A and B are shown apart, each in its own frame.
Chain A
Amino acid sequence: MPASVLSKNKLRVYFVSFWLIWSAIHAWVLHEWNYTLEEAWADSIVSNALLCMASMLIITSFRYYLPRKESFTYFGLMCIVLSAICISLTRFVLAFVIKDKTLDQYTQSIPVRAAIGILILGCVILINVLLHTLQEQQEQERRKSEADRIAKDAELYKLRQQLQPHFLFNSLNSINALVVSQPAGARKMIQQLSEYLRNTLKKEEHKWVTLEEELEYLQLYLDIEKVRFGHRLSTQIQADEIAMQMKLPVLLLQPVVENAIKFGLYDTTGDIVIGIDAKSSANMLTIKIENPFDAEVSKPVKGTGFGLSSVQKRLFLLFSRNDLLNTSTRENIFVTQVKIPQQ
């Protein structure tokens, strides 16, 4: 609901001053036109108070229902009806206050009063519509720049996610260490890291690959982690023959495995096993990824962790289903299960 145009102090001052000045002019004209001073003021106050109330009615009604800017008939009718009501009510009230002779004069001046009333109410509507349009435009502009900002942030975040600076620099540091002690190992690691980066930078989000290809890529990532943490990381990868040839969206499992490494390896001490197990059933590829976690340090989030929400979203966009990603815990093992319907 838009705010009333009278919510701004400056506009409120304008509104009040207009009615005060207008009432004074009104009274002065009537006084010139043979009204006594009291009668002139009574007439002015009653008719302008009613007109003012009608204006406020318009302003308030626009907060709840703003007609389309082109509905001139509606606006015109509104002016005519409201000013007619004002004039009749004014006459009704004035009958108690002023003399009959003056009341006759009032009746004579009704056309002029009607014209003025319609004019004033028309102006009120016009200003109102203008101000609301302005407000709407500002709101729209604000929303647009906000949306732009969010989109930009998301893009930056995605880029950073892809490159994983922490992983990258630590890997480079490992190479730095290997260069002197094991030059062959250093060379191998450079090749693995390059291959991994090349794959990451490929922008083929919509491509489908076989599980075999996806696992090869994951193996690359896990091998790099093994150079860094070989003393305590081991992996168990199992997949049946049919599952190996089933297809899945490229890089879908990557964030799941990264998540497993984060909680299973970075946040734990001691030897750990990361397990990947793929099974095929009729038209469905089911992959289970298991990692241990340290309950003292990180309690697995209910539902899906932060790293997994992107996977959930991607699966939903692809299959319009929300039940394809499931997580569970078994003692200190965290299990992520991804199901991929086969087409």
Chain B
Amino acid sequence: MIKVIIIDDEPLARNIVKEYLADYAQINIAQECNDGFEGVKAIAQYRPDLIFLDIQMPKINGFEMLELLENPPAVIFTTAFDEYAIRAFETHAIDYLLKPFSKERFDKSLQKWLSQQNADKNTNAYAMLAEATVQQQLSQNRIVVKINNKIKIIPLQDICFIEAADDYVKIHTAEGQYLKNKTMQYFETLLGGEQFVRTHRSYIVNVQYITRLDPYEKDTYTAILKSGEKIPVSKPGYIKLKQVLGL
């Protein structure tokens, strides 16, 4: 049996997928979910082979939900209208269905997946997709993290600084620290520009939290944050910081 989960905030939209899936005896719909939070829970519980995923949903969008999964299942995206997402899908040759879609179009997507099912899993492509949607996420001004099976949405302005930690990055906020399985490079692109500066190979700092810059060694500095924490600033980091702060 192939297990699928349908994640969409509109019941009628889920009904369409259910109706189209009725022809496939080998497919079993494990659960339907109203939003990304439910989606994360259901995926952990049922370990589906395939999910149908809407992009615009309450609380967290489809991409943010995917990012929270350690081993994402195969995904067929469904969306009504989303310029950025569609551009990203096309760049990475990922299948997507534009609502309203026909039975023929739906069958084509599903057949394609069924025939490739054992060939290769697309996990890598989703990671790339997530990177490609960085720009779009920026407009949402938030980062989604998971701590002990709870999902937390962090507004960008609440981030004090980000620190490299092996394969993860540690996001420091006034409330606490959160790990996310992403690279520093990813965050530098995501946050790049005015508010955040990569002051060091292992640090990205929110300039609004800096109270002071102290010289450390030759050409290097230490940034003192409002919380009292000390962040190293390398020579190239100092140059970038100077530009942003207009020194």
> Which A residues form the contact surface with B (CB < 8 A)?
165-166, 168-170, 172-178, 180-181, 227-229, 231, 266-269, 294, 296-297, 299
Contacts and interface: CB of A to CB of B under 8 A. Distances in A.
Contacts of B56: 166, 266
A165 B81 contact: yes
Main SS at interface, chain A: helix
Nearest to B142: A297
A267 B61 CA distance: 10
Contact of A231 (B11, B13, B37, B80): B11
Contacts of A299: 155
B35 A269 contact: yes
Given A175-B100, A177-B12, A177-B15, 15 more contacts: A165-B81, A166-B80, A169-B100, A173-B16, A173-B99, A174-B12, A176-B100, A181-B15, A227-B12, A228-B12, A229-B10, A294-B58, A297-B59, A297-B153, A299-B155
Contacts of A181: 15, 19
A297 B136 CA distance: 16
B34 interface: yes
B34 A269 contact: yes
B10 A296 contact: no
19 contacts: A166-B81, A172-B100, A173-B16, A173-B80, A173-B100, A174-B13, A177-B12, A177-B15, A181-B15, A228-B10, A228-B12, A229-B10, A231-B11, A266-B9, A269-B9, A269-B34, A269-B58, A296-B59, A296-B153
A177 B16 contact: yes
Interface of B: 9-13, 15-16, 19, 34-35, 37, 56, 58-59, 80-82, 98-100, 142, 153, 155
B16 A267 contact: no
A165 B58 CA distance: 18
Contacts of B15: 177, 181
A269 B56 CA distance: 13
Contact of B13 (A166, A177, A268, A297): A177
B58 A297 contact: yes
A174 B10 contact: yes
Contacts of A269: 9, 34-35, 37, 58-59
A176 B59 CA distance: 26
A169 B58 CA distance: 18
Nearest to A165: B81
A178 B100 CA distance: 12
Contacts of B16: 173, 176-177
Contacts of A178: 12
B19 A177 contact: yes
